[in-house]
Amino acid sequence: MHIVINTLYVQEIIIENICRTIYSSELQTCLLLDRPFVLLPSSTLNEKFSIQNGIQPDPSVIPSVKYFAIGNGGHKMVVGANGLTKTDPVQHRGTDAALYSHLPFILREISNDIDAVERAKYALRRKEVHNGTTYVAYYLKRLPLTGVVVDMEFINVTNGVQTVNAFVPNASNLNPTPPDLSSTGVNVVTGDYVAASAKVTITLSAADVAELLNVSTIIYGDPGYAIISEIGLCSGVDKVVQSPVDNNAMINFNEAIAVQVASFINTNFPLEYTNDGCVISLDIGSCEPNLSLSQQ
């Protein structure tokens, strides 16, 4: 299964399946103005899961978006007037600091943990007990950012059809002319906009799906609850810490601190029926309307 989700941060436009958070806005403002970033209580997934809670990043380091979390609480079932049932998304608010119902990507008995190579892909690692058995859980996965580039695009909208072209500034951008507004006639505004865009592809393999079906079976007693209906793009900072393994031993683990949800994405992957894996294409960045007027 393949789905494309546009996560462009659009100001003053509501996109039903995307919700940017206040924590992302604060982080962006600190970055743009070169102001210190101060981590606030009740804003991190570290606090929610009691993993490296309250650990501040080095003042010289600004958290960046490089992880994602998943959950199965971003949907509800509704019955239409025709008596048929369908799935509707459950909206997040910009003040929400966590998913409605987080799912770990992996839940293994601590004596059967994943190896060091696999562990490097994950973060927010902790021990959990389910039905008397001790497991190790991983609640974040690192975004595959190798080779990802940021492009500037000009999106022309004509009769509702979008045409995307690369935007390359030229001399006219350094010498702009005021729009010719009519004080008596009709001024027509186009829907064109410009965007800074980075394409990121998340792939969940058949093995990843098998792990999530196992997670659902352990937590709920039923693999049918392995539904990814909400995704959190998360910012944070990597930090090597001591993390527990079997027999009360400890290992060095590249953990994530100062983890905040930057954006919520509604989606719907019932993994019990998607056992060959799925691909989610994200378009991450920001866009602005491009004022273009003509007179009638």
Strand blocks (E) in 159-245? 161-166, 187-189, 193-204, 227-244
Residue 159 has a pLDDT of: 78
Token pair listed for 92:
């997040």
Residue 187 has a pLDDT of: 61
Residue 28 has phi, psi (to 5 degrees) of: -65, -40
As a whole number of angstroms, the distance between CA 263 and CA 257 comes to 17
Q: CA-CA distances (angstroms) from residue 33 to 27, 170, 235, 236, 269?
A: 10, 26, 18, 19, 39
pLDDT digits (tens, 9 = 90+) for 164-202: 899 999 999 999 988 777 666 666 667 788 888 899 999
As a whole number of angstroms, the distance between CA 68 and CA 124 comes to 11
Residue 161 has a pLDDT of: 85
As a whole number of angstroms, the distance between CA 129 and CA 125 comes to 13
In this prediction the pTM is 0.88
| Residue count (the chain) | 296
As a whole number of angstroms, the distance between CA 255 and CA 232 comes to 17
pLDDT tens by residue, the chain, 296 residues: 444 444 433 322 333 588 999 999 999 999 999 999 989 999 999 999 999 999 999 988 889 999 999 999 999 888 888 888 888 889 999 999 999 999 999 999 999 999 999 999 999 999 999 999 999 999 999 999 999 999 999 988 887 788 889 999 999 999 998 877 766 666 666 778 888 889 999 999 999 999 999 999 999 999 999 999 999 999 999 999 999 898 889 999 999 999 999 999 999 999 998 878 888 888 888 888 876 655 55
Q: Note whether 215 and 224 are within 8 A (CB).
A: no
Q: Note whether 272 and 226 are within 8 A (CB).
A: yes
| Beta-carbon-side half-sphere exposure of residue 69 (alpha carbons within 13 Å) | 35
